[in-house]
């Protein structure tokens, strides 16, 4: 594992161990960037802004993004292997979601660039000759991209692609738990002839390490961050000192609402997917489901049975995260009902040293219980009944977060009434995680600031400037 700074690879810094989450064994190490290297990465990014990169046209940048996408595709299997080694997720998931989405991230911003024009206005003036106003979009400058461990390559490229599309230079810092795919991405950048300093990669932790040094660096002009809400607060304070703009995708405690008129089979299958994909370690996963009382028992029974039958799921990313999730399960078992799972699976092989948690269904907890209110970020869902649409909305909208929600109903009018009334950035009706990369993506309340996706990302990563010409 290496850093990538100013177009060169570098291994400086204290090595941090990399642990295989499926077995709990040390399988490698990644260097933790010293402060001097973070400074050098920001310096290289600043210098690249003043180099030939500044003269590249949108079409040039679009072609570069396609070359990067081609490079990931060429090394597809290596990326899948690195993604699984980092996170422990099943190969099927990495090869159908994470790596193809990383490719799509670069391609979609390349395509978007090609179709994006600038706006202009003709303005009347008293002399009758008028003026022409037009907008030009300039890059923000050096952008720090800081990403979490759950979808390491997908979320990193979701920011790097639009940042480069808009003409910025980037210093990226992936999670210290999952540096593997980012290292491969740096190699792809070099192979794709990305100009030196346009993309830089530093490894290391957050507090008192590369993450903090990057966000506090006066040479960093903007910060795009995905991670925990608390970390977002810390980064916002660092950015506030120099008024640097931030784009934040943060935590969630996503609700699902199942109405009695829903196709129950579809709602159960959808909730199994929305709660347990990547063992619940997706920010969009459903952690609490409100079910209309007449179908509560039937839904609960079917979901618990479906959960017990789940096979081929992956572990938690780390021992610390596994312990956090199990801590919530202990409290939940003491205060409510465990309808499926609730503990650690036994394999009777070396996987017993890994960080596994059984997919778990809970019920009977009060709404202010930590397992119902706080983000667990594991394979855990709590079920509770409701009686009226208003009550369902109030329950779903309670709490500090507002990222995503699912609504399961067969009534079209109700779907259009309930979905927009949810205090979230993304609502899915009769589906989950169906993504069109042009749509706005992000959260309200403690779940984020700003929107990513399509034009929204390009707008964040560029500064619109107006030019007024008197005719």
Residue 268 binds to ligand NAD (criterion: CB under 6 A)? no
We find the least distance from the C-beta atom of residue 240 to ligand NAD, in angstroms, to be 13
What is residue 342's DSSP assignment?
-
The CA distance from 423 to 420, in Å, is 8
Residue 228 binds to ligand NAD (criterion: CB under 6 A)? yes
* Contact residue for ligand NAD among 7, 28, 51, 205 (CB under 6 A): 205
Counting residues that bind ligand NAD (by CB under 6 A) gives 32
Contact flags string 162-181 toward ligand NAD, x per CB under 6 A = -----------x-xx-----
* Contact residue for ligand NAD among 127, 128, 207, 312 (CB under 6 A): 207
The length of the chain is 471
* Contact residue for ligand NAD among 32, 105, 181, 231 (CB under 6 A): 231
Of 10 and 249, the one with the shorter C-beta distance to ligand NAD is 249
We find the least distance from the C-beta atom of residue 303 to ligand NAD, in angstroms, to be 22
Of 144 and 295, the one with the shorter C-beta distance to ligand NAD is 144
- Reply yes or no on whether 249 is catalytic: yes
Residue listed under structure tokens 């079409």: 59
Site for ligand NAD in 436-455 (CB under 6 A): 443, 447-448
| SS3 per-residue string spanning 392-434 | HHHHHHCCCEECEEEEECCCHHHHHHHHHHCCCCEEEECCCCC
* Strands 360-363 and 380-386, bridge-based pairing: parallel
Contact flags string 145-164 toward ligand NAD, x per CB under 6 A = -xxxxx----x---------
**Cα 289 from chain centroid?**
22
CB-based contact 396:290 (threshold 8 Å):
yes
Residue listed under structure tokens 């649409």: 389
Instruction: Give the burial string for 228-244 (b: 16+ CB within 10 Å, else e).
Output: bbebbebbbebbeeeeb
**Alpha-carbon Rg for the chain in angstroms:** 23
* Contact residue for ligand NAD among 377, 408, 428, 432 (CB under 6 A): 377
Residue 423 binds to ligand NAD (criterion: CB under 6 A)? no
Residue 206 binds to ligand NAD (criterion: CB under 6 A)? yes
Residue 311 tokens, joined = 């096979």
Residue 212 binds to ligand NAD (criterion: CB under 6 A)? yes
Backbone φ/ψ region at 93: left (φ over 0), alpha (ψ -120 to 50), beta: alpha
Q: Which of 36, 191, 216, 249 is catalytic?
A: 249
Residues identified as active-site: 249
Residues that bind ligand NAD (CB under 6 A): 146-150, 155, 173, 175-176, 205-207, 211-212, 215, 226-228, 231, 234-235, 249-252, 283, 375, 377, 403, 443, 447-448
């Amino acid at each position: 594992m290496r850093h990538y700074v100013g177009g060169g690879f570098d291994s400086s810094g204290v090595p941090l161990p990399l642990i295989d989450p499926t077995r709990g064994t040390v399988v490698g190490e990644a260097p933790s960037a010293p402060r001097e290297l973070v400074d050098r990465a920001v310096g290289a990014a600043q210098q690249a802004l003043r180099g030939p990169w500044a003269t590249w046209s949108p079409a040039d940048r679009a072609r570069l993004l396609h070359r990067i996408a081609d490079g990931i595709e060429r090394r597809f299997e290596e990326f899948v292997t690195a993604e699984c080694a980092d996170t422990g997720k099943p190969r099927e998931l990495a090869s159908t979601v994470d790596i193809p989405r990383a490719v799509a991230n670069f391609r979609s911003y390349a395509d978007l660039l090609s179709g994006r024009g600038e706006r202009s206005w003709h303005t009347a003036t008293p002399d009758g000759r008028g003026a022409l106003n037009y907008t030009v979009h300039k890059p923000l400058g050096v952008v720090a991209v800081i990403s979490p461990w759950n979808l390491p390559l997908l979320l990193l490229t979701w920011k790097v692609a639009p940042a480069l599309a808009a003409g910025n230079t980037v210093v990226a810092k992936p999670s210290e738990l999952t540096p593997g795919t980012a290292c491969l991405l740096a190699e792809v950048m070099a192979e794709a002839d990305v100009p030196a300093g346009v993309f830089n990669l530093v490894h290391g932790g957050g507090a008192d390490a590369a993450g903090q040094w990057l966000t506090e660096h006066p040479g960093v002009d903007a910060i795009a961050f995905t991670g925990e809400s608390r970390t977002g607060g810390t980064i916002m304070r660092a950015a506030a000192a120099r008024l640097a703009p931030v784009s934040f995708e943060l935590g969630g405690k996503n609700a699902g609402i199942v109405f009695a008129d829903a196709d129950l089979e579809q709602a159960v299958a959808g909730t199994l997917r929305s709660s347990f994909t990547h063992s619940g370690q997706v920010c969009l996963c459903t952690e609490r489901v409100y079910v209309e009382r007449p179908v509560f028992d039937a839904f609960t029974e079917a979901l618990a049975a479906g959960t017990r039958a789940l096979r081929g799921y992956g572990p938690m990313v780390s021992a610390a995260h596994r312990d956090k999730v199990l801590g919530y399960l202990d409290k939940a078992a003491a205060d409510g009902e465990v309808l499926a799972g609730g503990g650690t699976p036994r394999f009777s092989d070396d996987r017993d040293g890994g960080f596994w948690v059984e997919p778990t269904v809970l019920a009977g907890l009060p709404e202010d219980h930590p397992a119902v209110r706080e983000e667990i970020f594991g394979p855990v869902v709590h079920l509770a009944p409701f009686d009226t649409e208003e009550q369902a909305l109030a329950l779903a909208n309670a709490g500090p977060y507002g990222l995503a929600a699912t609504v399961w109903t067969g009534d079209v009018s109700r779907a259009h009434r309930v979905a927009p009334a949810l205090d979230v950035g993304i609502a899915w009706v009769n589906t989950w995680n169906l993504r069109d990369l042009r749509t706005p993506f992000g959260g309200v309340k403690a779940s984020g600031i700003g929107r990513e996706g399509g034009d929204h990302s390009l707008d964040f990563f560029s500064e619109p400037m107006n030019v007024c010409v008197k005719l």
